[in-house]
Amino acid sequence: MAFVTRQFVRSVSSSSTAAATAKKIMVKHVTVIGGGLMGAGIAQVAAATGHRVVLVDQSDDILAKSTKGIEESLKKVAKKKFADNPKASDEFVQKTLGNLSTSTDAAAVVHSTDLVVEAIVENLKVKNELFQRLDKFAAEHTIFASNTSSLQITSIANATTRQDRFAGLHFFNPVPLMKLVEVIKTPMTSQKTFESLVDFTKTLGKHPVSCKDTPGFIVNRLLVPYLMEAVRLYERGDASKEDIDTAMKLGAGYPMGPFELIDYVGLDTTKFIIEGWHEMDSQNPLFQPCPSLDKLVAEKKLGKKTGEGYYKYK
Ligand SMILES: NC(=O)c1ccc[n+]([C@@H]2O[C@H](COP(=O)([O-])OP(=O)(O)OC[C@H]3O[C@@H](n4cnc5c(N)ncnc54)[C@H](O)[C@@H]3O)[C@@H](O)[C@H]2O)c1
């Protein structure tokens, strides 16, 4: 396996001159798979910046909910952006919605897309099945990107035959507000793919940073162990959830405390991230699961997405 990777790296670097001169892809048409918290935000921002976007999910009901959420969010953005011009505000909302369409059949829409951004459930098997299928239907030039928070990009890319056109594109929640995108380059991602994605994130008005395919990339590698340590502090009875949040806001200058942040990220997402890292490296003390978090997720108490919050949980 390592040999295959080395061979691939060698062949990529030996053709580096060709790669440098190869034309970057100007992304105009984007397919976003998954219309949940992240996918809806990514679709909104891409459509608002003039890209043609197809948003894909499993049912028309989910897509109707996503589109409604996007419209409401757009109205808020437009109200701020065109504070003194209601006509321009309406036009912005209508134009953006005009750039957006929906589908329940990813395979049927990817033939004409420049970029597929996947934001479905955080499960390697499900992501692999999706990309393996789309690989057969997408155009040759199409770049695939995953928004995964915790899985190895390489292990998703390996489900396809286009490892050179595969990378991580890690957005932050809420997507319309958060400026950062981590662009993840695996040893097999071509320079052309990487640069095309960096350019794409800039057209979205985002700030790209680059990171290797390492657990948690930059932000989550620092953030998730911090969130888990807050849960452990509370589990041990050392301090209340409210005091921990207040302490980090007033003492460390963070805009939100760790429990407020877990509500935003989703208790389930946080649990899956730590579980995945624990599987990869069970000895790492930063990657240990928390029993109280596991219990809440088993009870379907997930934070904002289920309409409550950590302060109410026992
Ligand atoms: N929540 C966050 O703060 C955050 C931040 C960055 C990245 N991420 C990552 O983004 C991804 C999505 O997270 P989310 O919070 O938006 O999840 P979510 O549960 O809100 O949305 C996931 C959506 O994907 C749909 N879906 C599932 N399987 C599908 C399939 N095979 N085909 C089409 N649609 C499918 C679901 O119906 C759902 O609407 C995950 O990989 C997560 O790790 C999440």
Q: Which atom of ligand 1 is nearest to the CA of 41?
A: 16
Over residues 93-100, the mean pLDDT reads 98
Query: 34 with 118, same domain?
Result: yes
Q: What is the mean pLDDT of the chain?
A: 92
- Whether residue 5 is predicted with pLDDT greater than 50 in this model: the reply is no
Residues 220-244 have a mean pLDDT of 96
Q: Inform me whether the pLDDT recorded for 14 exceeds 60.
A: no
Domain containing residue 107: CATH number: 3.40.50.720
- Predicted confidence at residue 3, as pLDDT, reads 36
The β-bridge relationship of strands 166-170 and 180-185 is antiparallel
Look up the domain containing 172 and give its range.
Answer: 29-212
Helices of type H across the chain: 2-14, 16-21, 37-48, 60-81, 86-98, 106-109, 124-137, 153-157, 191-203, 219-235, 241-252, 258-265, 267-280, 291-298
220 is catalytic: yes
Q: Does some domain include residue 306?
A: no
- Chosen domain end from 212, 232, 253: 212
- pLDDT value at 101 more than 60: yes
Residue 1 has pLDDT above 80, yes or no: no
Residue 30 forms beta bridges with which residues?
53, 115
**Contact, 194 vs 59, CB < 8 A?**
no
Residue that is last in its domain, among 189, 212, 235: 212
Bridge-partner residues for 14, per DSSP?
none
Count the domains in the chain.
2
**Where residue 289 falls among pLDDT bands split at 50, 70, 90?**
very high
The answer to whether residue 93 sits within a structural domain is yes
Residue 201 domain-assigned? yes
From the list 66, 149, 150, 158, the catalytic residue is 149
Give the Å distances, CA to CA, from 157 to 142, 152, 307.
13, 9, 34
- Asked if residue 57 is part of any domain, the answer here is yes
179 and 102 in a common domain: yes
Domain boundary among 161, 186, 212: 212
Known active-site residue 182: yes
Q: Are strands 115-118 and 100-103 parallel, antiparallel or unpaired?
A: unpaired
Check whether residue 199 and residue 225 sit in a common domain.
no
Q: Inform me whether the pLDDT recorded for 63 exceeds 70.
A: yes
Question: Does residue 14 sit within a domain?
Answer: no
Does 113 lie in the same domain as 77? yes
pLDDT of residue 8: 39
Residues 224 and 277 in one domain: yes
Please report, for the domain that includes residue 280, its CATH number: 1.10.1040.10
Same domain, 227 and 175: no
Which pair of tokens denotes residue 156?
Answer: 């998703």
Going from the Cα of 257 to the center of ligand 1, the distance in angstroms, rounded, reads 24
pLDDT of residue 13: 42
Q: Whose CA is nearest to atom 28 of ligand 1?
A: 120
pLDDT per residue over 247-282, tens digit each? 999 999 999 999 999 998 899 989 988 998 999 899
- Does residue 307 belong to any structural domain of this protein? no
Statement to judge: residues 178 and 63 lie in one domain: yes
List residues near ligand 1 (CB under 6 A): 33-39, 56-58, 62, 119-122, 126, 130, 147-149, 171, 173, 265-266, 269
Looking at the structure, do residues 105 and 138 belong to the same domain, yes or no?
Answer: yes
Pair 59, 192 in one domain = yes
102 and 149 both lie in a single domain: yes
Q: Report pLDDT digits (tens) over 200-224.
A: 999 999 999 999 999 999 999 999 9
Percent of the chain with pLDDT over 90: 85
Q: Is residue 303 part of a domain?
A: no
Instruction: Evaluate if residue 73 carries a pLDDT over 50.
Output: yes
Q: For position 22, what pLDDT does the model report?
A: 73
Encode pLDDT of 107-136 as tens digits.
999 999 999 999 999 899 999 999 999 999
State yes or no: pLDDT of 175 exceeds 50. Answer: yes
Mark whether 139 and 277 lie in a shared domain. no
Task: Give residue 19's pLDDT band: very low, low, confident or very high (50, 70, 90).
Answer: very low
pLDDT for 34 beyond 50: yes
Which percentage of the chain shows pLDDT scores above 70?
93
134, part of any domain? yes
